[in-house]
Structure 1
Amino acid sequence: MKMLMTLFLFLIGSQTSVTQTPAPTSADIVLLVDSSNSLGNKAFPSMKSFISKMIGHLTATPNQYRIALAQYSDDLHVEFLLDTYKAKNPMLNYVKKNVVFKGGSVKTGNALREVHKTFFKGPASGRDKERILVVLTSGASEDAVVEPAKILKSDGVKIIAMGIQDVSPEELQSMATPQFSYKFRTVRDLSMSSQNLTKIIEDVIQTDINGIIPTDITVPEREVCKSDSVADIVFIVDEGVSKPKAEDIKKFLQDTVSFLDVRKNCTKIGLVTYSSESHVLSLLSEETNKTTILQKIQDFSPREGKANTGAAIKVTRQRVFSGSRKAQGIEQIAILITHRPSEDNVSEAAHDLRRTGVTVFTIGIENADYTQLTQIASYPRQQYVTKLTAFSDLPKKARTLQKKLLNQIQDKLYVQSERKELLKAGCVDTEEADIYVLIDGSTSISPAPFGDIKTFLKEVIKMFNIGPNKVRFGAVQFSHHKRLEFELDEYSNTNDLERAIDNIRQIYGDTHIGEALTFMQPLFKRAREQRAGRVPCYLIVLTDGESHDSVKEPAERLRNEKVNIYAIGIKGANEAQLHEIAGSKSRTFFVQEFDSLKNIKNEIVQKICSKEGKGKF
């Protein structure tokens, strides 16, 4: 609710007690971005993403704004001047390739002085362009900001001050044109508001600074969580142990929970124990504090019975994660601790849990089945699966798990969505391409995993600029049959492509990849003829099994015709055949479960968008 209120004030805050004047047709906008140690290297990709989003929004109307970019910490670092770029794509490409983290202390006052000398020297009288400075800062300045901000404003520069993390609302207000200061908890929160910046720019342009009645603005801050640890975490614990081993489990759980910032708006903890039956000890929907959770862990006692791990995972999904904060974008994490093989099926239950967006860690001790641990855990297994020899090793691993949890939470908070936006911006370079996907529809793939394939494809196409003269997508499904689902020139926008993918119906049958690759040759020939052979061609092959026919020769024929092939194997796919299809290990991918396809999507798209994916066949 506080976040919504902050965004609400972000939208309306510039419209109170100000005098509106007709907006000029253009403005000079300087983006001044904190690149200090206060922000940190880990959060910097998110800041870059926000910069790209701002540029994208501000350049939607050509020639309306000139934009400059500078970073600061101890000193000012000018990235590009107001007259350097006149179009969006060159700016976005510059940000992607050249803007790097600087580090250092937060000296916002010095940065304001240097910005004044570099971009805004002299009064604005007689100009038809408004002059606007957008300051993005993450920490309390080590030098004074009031006087340099006052000098800028006296020369007609209007300042929008936006802060995250440790900067105070008062410092932001002291810099900003009255009613144009905004405080957010994290870069992610800031990024959520990027689409509103154009409106804020318009409002500040229309503001008559001579007619402003200064007013105090209170921008409510969200509760600050230790290390930004905002997550829903559920422990699933096998209780069929001896008392001494139960003490090791309790010590591990107590150390881990004590490390986390367990509060209503920070980390929430769920707890499930199981043997023959499952017992829910703590729900995510409950207002449970750290003391209460630690007491429940202290009360944990062994219980004899079978190891029905699959049933416990199902109960966790249905009863515990059903009360989570997933809809708010909060990271969802499950941690399974067991010491023996499960006596029921774990694969389907774990698949259903991961499909809801839960990241699963597994910790296996003593006789736990490693194959089952990998079936349950998220991808990649080296990151999410831990195997220990003895229970006495468990408490020693608490610190390692804490680091993994924090990395997972911060990756979700700062990196994942921003990485997608940066990657999408990077794919602007891939202005033209013809991409076919070759989909395994054989009987070994059940309906739900086939749905995962379609979801994967829809996510991939969203990363490209779809159009008849831009990036085109086509799809073919195969088993021992081949079916052309749609050609490259059939759908010319993302929405139509998504609907076409939704309408794909599985054909079933045996796996004949070689025949399917041969089937692709005339399709790519037609594609080359349509665009005079000047557009790069790609084929993405998805399969879960070993081909009953040879793949090497038809794959080589395609590559000789300059088709760049990526091979993705799931579960029972033959890795040697995948290498033969792709022609290179670097273009081969393998995941244990269909729902793990989403984890390799960005990597594949990045390869296609990069120089590595162009022209090397």
Structure 2
Amino acid sequence: MAYTIVIAPKASNCKGANVADIVFIVDESGSIRTENFQLVRSFLHSIVSGLNVSLTRVRVGIVSYNTEATAHVYLNTFKDKAGVLQYINILPYNGGGTNTGAALDFTRENIFNEKKGSRKGIQKVAVVITDGKSQDPVTEAATRLRRAGVTIYAVGVKDATESELKDIANHPPEKHVFIVDSFANLKPLTQTLQKIMCKNIIDEAIKKPDIKKGLSNCFLIIVFMDVKLISFFSPVCERKDEADIFFLMDASGSIVDEDFSVMKKFIIEFIHAFNIGPKHIRMGLVKYSDDPVLEFDLAAYSDARKLERAVEYTEHIRGRTFTGKALSKMGDLFVSRRQNVPTYLIVITDGKSDESDPVRIPAEKLRAQGIKIYAIGVKDSNEAELVEIAGDPKRTFQVTNFDALKSIKEDVIRDICIPDGKDSLTLGKYELGRSDQVTDDVSAYCAIMCWVHLSELPKVLVLVLCNQSFETSLVDCLFPIISVINDD
């Protein structure tokens, strides 16, 4: 048996986010004016300066737009950082209108394009910088870009519309939308945007299936003062052995077919997080609009692949939104649940239930039967109604679009996996915490120990040590492990 030990420092700036394709989409409309556009150039210069730019690491592209979009730097135009920075210094400013939607489509079609240097299997990031409301629609164009696998950040200056920025960017907005009241305040934003963007890139790298598989038997020890805390990093629900889970999905007419497909994909990804089987995790699915329709019950399918196919074949029925009626039906369907096994209902809806169809009483009846309810609202859902359904704000989730469902998936799964009333799971004499955030106002040292099954090699013990400040996510410590796995 081989042992590998790696000692690595804490990641700073963007050194941990080593591989990505990043495109800046820059508003050059007439409302900005020449002197302010120079501040935009300085902002871009500062952001790019902190990136590890090369053709094998971080590639950078630049698009400017007014009424029309113009490609200035493709993802394969420059081979190093110096070339990109020199071009930023002379980035043209022409004035004109503000067609942000067209610029998003242009970037998807012409920049995130393998012929223009975009790499397959590499994280794709777009940063939109604008000072006003778009003169063309942005929602559908942003959706197309996100569904092409691009993570979008939106930076708004002065008269930019917050609601529009949220429509453009990924969820959650607190990590993807940034607003400043003047161009002069772009400079202080540089470090914040860079830090969040780079951490998100690392987070997404860790979520990749090959990385998660390699890290499936890892645990993390954080040592500060005389206290030990262990955070478990693994496929999030290995420790939940038994549960009966029903999905109740809105299939009303306000949901377009593409969004209905995204909702089905969310459920399928949820299935893959659990150990599916008649003696382990069982799942059922009900869709609803005017009336609830049972797709399959808890005992219908005994393995994940069959469940996945059943979800894929679920058809969109349209109609109005009668969530209360659907909740009332669930009481009858849960009669097949197993005794002394945790029971869950996950409700996904994009709107408020019909005025003649209240949700509070049927939801209370389900919870009185010991059924824990999660309420997930999308787009025009009503926050108060979601709380009535779940009975607890902590089990409600609200996102601005269906693409954002994937951003809350692991939060829901993790909550299901940790027993009621506990903030941690026990591993021997140690505790496995809910959070991966060090909140104590001290420096900590963390050691990640990991049994990695590498192809054609014996198990390798990977140990990573790194200094960890209280305000930094533990993801800073994880990147060296990724490097070890990739290098081997």
Measure the CA separation in 2 of the matches of 1:365 and 1:542.
34
Is the aligned partner of 1:434 residue 2:244? yes
Measure the CA separation in 2 of the matches of 1:517 and 1:371.
32
Measure the CA separation in 2 of the matches of 1:587 and 1:408.
24
Distance verdict in 2 for CA 1:426–1:256, change over 3 Å: closer
Shift of 1:524: 0.2
Partner of 1:137: 5
Measure the CA separation in 2 of the matches of 1:475 and 1:352.
28
Shift of 1:235: 0.1
Render the CA deviation track for 1:585-605: whole Å, top value 9, x for unaligned.
Answer: 111111111000000000000
Aligned match of 1:541 in 333, 341, 347? 347
Structure 2, unpaired ranges of 5+: 217-231, 423-488
1:550 partner letter: P
Alignment partner of 2:112: what SS? helix
Distance verdict in 2 for CA 1:343–1:577, change over 3 Å: same
Partner of 2:363: 555
Measure the CA separation in 2 of the matches of 1:374 and 1:390.
19
Is the aligned partner of 1:238 residue 2:27? yes
Shift of 1:613: 8.2
1:580 partner letter: E
Partner of 1:81: none
Render the CA deviation track for 1:307-337: whole Å, top value 9, x for unaligned.
Answer: 1000101111111112265533x32111000
1:579 partner letter: V
Higher helix share goes to which structure? 1
| Amino-acid identity (%) | 40
Measure the CA separation in 2 of the matches of 1:242 and 1:248.
10
Distance verdict in 2 for CA 1:436–1:276, change over 3 Å: same
Partner of 1:368: 160
Query: Under a length normalisation based on structure 1, what TM-score does the superposition of the two structures give?
Result: 0.61
Alignment partner of 1:428: what SS? coil
- Residues 391-470 of structure 1 mapped to structure 2, 5 A cutoff: 391-414=183-206, 421=216, 425=235, 427-470=237-280
The question of whether the paired residues in 1 share the 8 Å contact of 2:17 and 2:199 is answered with no
Measure the CA separation in 2 of the matches of 1:585 and 1:435.
20
Partner of 2:482: none
Is the aligned partner of 1:308 residue 2:99? yes
The question of whether the paired residues in 2 share the 8 Å contact of 1:607 and 1:613 is answered with no
Partner of 2:175: 383
The question of whether the paired residues in 1 share the 8 Å contact of 2:375 and 2:397 is answered with yes
Measure the CA separation in 1 of the matches of 2:198 and 2:352.
39
The question of whether the paired residues in 2 share the 8 Å contact of 1:431 and 1:465 is answered with yes
Aligned match of 1:580 in 374, 385, 388? 388
Query: Under a length normalisation based on structure 2, what TM-score does the superposition of the two structures give?
Result: 0.77
Shift of 1:426: 5.0
Partner of 2:330: 520
Partner of 1:327: 120
Measure the CA separation in 2 of the matches of 1:457 and 1:325.
30
Greater alpha carbon shift after TM alignment, 292-301 vs 419-428: 419-428
Shift of 1:491: 1.2
1:411 partner letter: D
Partner of 1:219: none
Alignment partner of 1:437: what SS? strand
2:415 partner letter: K
Structure 1, unpaired ranges of 5+: 1-131, 140-164, 167-185, 187-224
Measure the CA separation in 2 of the matches of 1:387 and 1:539.
37
The question of whether the paired residues in 2 share the 8 Å contact of 1:564 and 1:613 is answered with no
Partner of 2:149: 357
The question of whether the paired residues in 1 share the 8 Å contact of 2:61 and 2:72 is answered with yes
- Residues 83-94 of structure 1 mapped to structure 2, 5 A cutoff: none
Render the CA deviation track for 1:251-306: whole Å, top value 9, x for unaligned.
Answer: 11111112212111111001100000000111124454222222321222222222
Measure the CA separation in 2 of the matches of 1:419 and 1:584.
31
Measure the CA separation in 1 of the matches of 2:54 and 2:414.
38
| Larger Rg, first or second structure (1 or 2) | 1
Partner of 1:343: 135
The question of whether the paired residues in 2 share the 8 Å contact of 1:246 and 1:301 is answered with no
Question: What is the number of equivalent residue pairs in this alignment?
Answer: 395
If asked which structure has higher relative contact order (CA below 8 Å, sep 6+), I would say 2
Measure the CA separation in 1 of the matches of 2:48 and 2:130.
18
Measure the CA separation in 2 of the matches of 1:423 and 1:436.
26
Alignment partner of 1:306: what SS? coil
Render the CA deviation track for 1:426-466: whole Å, top value 9, x for unaligned.
Answer: 52332111111000000111111111101100000000000
Aligned match of 1:596 in 389, 400, 404? 404
Render the CA deviation track for 1:26-54: whole Å, top value 9, x for unaligned.
Answer: xxxxxxxxxxxxxxxxxxxxxxxxxxxxx
1:356 partner letter: A
Measure the CA separation in 2 of the matches of 1:553 and 1:580.
9
Higher strand share goes to which structure? 2
Measure the CA separation in 1 of the matches of 2:322 and 2:119.
40
Distance verdict in 2 for CA 1:365–1:498, change over 3 Å: same
What's the Cα RMSD here?
2.1
Measure the CA separation in 2 of the matches of 1:405 and 1:427.
27
Shift of 1:340: 0.7
